[in-house]
Amino acid sequence: MSIKFKVLLRKNPQDILAPEKFYAAAIADGETDLEKLAELISYQCTVTEADCYAVLMSLEHNIISELNQGRIVKLGRLGNFQVGLSSEGKETAEEVTSSVIKKNRILFRPGKKLRTLLSTLTYRKAS
């Protein structure tokens, strides 16, 4: 299988006056939710679909709980989740407080197999 992409005309956000250029943008080809993942997993093992779903829901709950406590969540070969921050720069360390934090996000660092996937993908232009 290959990843479909479309062509978009975009401005350069770093130079608004520069002429627009054409860029490739990936097109999602459907979705897979937790219920579907539970179904797929249940076909590959002896665990029922309902049990797989329960484990996935528990995984989500526990990842949220651990991230909320400031921990890195390591999911083995799948990868790691961690909270990241962006803040204003200040002249002294004393000026840096929680009020200068402007943005937070969840960082995901994929494991080796997921990183390898990126190097083996093929692409096709959507018609």
> Sign of the CA dihedral 61, 64, 69, 75?
positive
Cβ(79)–Cβ(108) below 8 Å = yes
pLDDT tens profile 108-119? 999 999 999 999
pLDDT tens profile 32-83? 999 999 999 999 999 999 999 999 999 999 999 999 999 999 999 999 999 9
pTM score, two decimals? 0.81
Is the per-residue pLDDT at 1 higher than 80?
Answer: no
- Of all residues in the chain, the percent with pLDDT exceeding 70 is 100
First CA to last CA distance, the chain:
16
Total number of residues shown for the chain: 127
